[in-house]
Structure 1
Amino acid sequence: MRFTYMTSAAFNQNPSKAKKAASEHPLVITEHGEASYVLVRYSAFEENWRKPKSLYEALSDETSAFDEDFDPARTTFAGRDIEL
């Protein structure tokens, strides 16, 4: 999931711009460089945060940012003493 960022000062000066940005992606509002609030459309809120998903639904979610295959580094035993 992509996020859009906006400072709290920019949010206070132009809330309509913030609403427009939040209609496309969740908008993270920052204060002093730290994330403090998230603004999302209500439909996105209901879709993603209110309704609990089953494990199957979460794993098969096409919009997930974590859709890359798990590929761990290969472990070798070179340089290790093995006692049997």
Structure 2
Amino acid sequence: MSLPKSMPAKCLVSVSFLLSVACSASVEAEVLQLISPALVRKLLLKMGEKISMTHNPRFRYEDWGPTFLSAVFIKEAVANIC
């Protein structure tokens, strides 16, 4: 059973869309970080509450917060999507 020829094209479109969303979110977060670091911290902590990562007392914002704005995070996120 082989995949249709249009399958790689659809995958390429979806990966490029997800990459563009991740890059734009990263750029927006960087700009927001420059304008209001306290707001970025508040937003990231609010996101952490949804997935319970902030419930661990040893897991502080200072340890993981800045990584959301790094190129390494974007690279790993894209690698995990594919």
Q: Say whether the fold is shared (TM-score over 0.5).
A: no
Q: Which has the larger radius of gyration?
A: 1
* Structure with more of its chain in helix, by fraction: 2
Pick 1 or 2: higher relative contact order, CA cutoff 8 A, min separation 6. 2
**Would you tell me which structure has more strand in proportion to its own residues?**
1
Superposition TM-score, scaled by structure 2 size: 0.31
